[in-house]
Amino acid sequence: MDRPLSLWARISEAVAALARGEGLSAVFDHLRAPPERSVAFTIAVIALGAKMAKADGQVTRDEVAAFRRIFQIPPGEEANAARVFDMARTDVAGFDAYARKIAAMFGPGNPVLKDLLEGLFAIALADGDYHENEDAFLQEVARIFGLDACCFRAIRAAFVPDAEPDPWTVLELDPGTDLAAVKARWRNLVREAHPDRAIARGLPEEAVRLAEARVVALNRAWAEISAASEGAHADRHL
Q: Burial level of 238, CB count in 10 A (0-12/13-18/19+)?
A: exposed
For residue 125, the enclosing domain spans 7-236
Q: Is the pLDDT of residue 177 over 50?
A: yes
Of the listed ranges 134-148, 160-174, 184-198, the least confidently predicted one is 160-174
CA 92 to chain centre: 18
pTM: 0.65
Beta carbons within 8 Å of 99's beta carbon, 6+ residues apart: 44, 48, 140, 141, 144, 145
182 in Cβ contact with 173 (< 8 Å)? yes
What is the model's pLDDT at position 236?
A: 55
94 belongs to a structural domain: yes
Q: Is the pLDDT of residue 232 over 60?
A: no
2 belongs to a structural domain: no
Q: Show the CA angle centred on residue 97, arms to residues 207 and 92, nearest 5°.
A: 80
Q: How far is CA 4 from CA 1, 8, 34, in A?
A: 9, 11, 11
Of the listed ranges 9-23, 186-200, 220-234, the least confidently predicted one is 9-23
For the chain, what is the domain count?
Answer: 1
What is the model's pLDDT at position 40?
A: 59
1 belongs to a structural domain: no
- Spatial separation of the C-alpha atoms in residues 238 and 234, rounded to whole Å: 7
Q: What is the pLDDT of residues 84-143, one digit of tens each?
A: 677 777 777 778 887 887 788 778 878 778 887 888 888 888 888 888 888 999 999 999
Confidence of residue 231 (pLDDT cuts 50, 70, 90): low
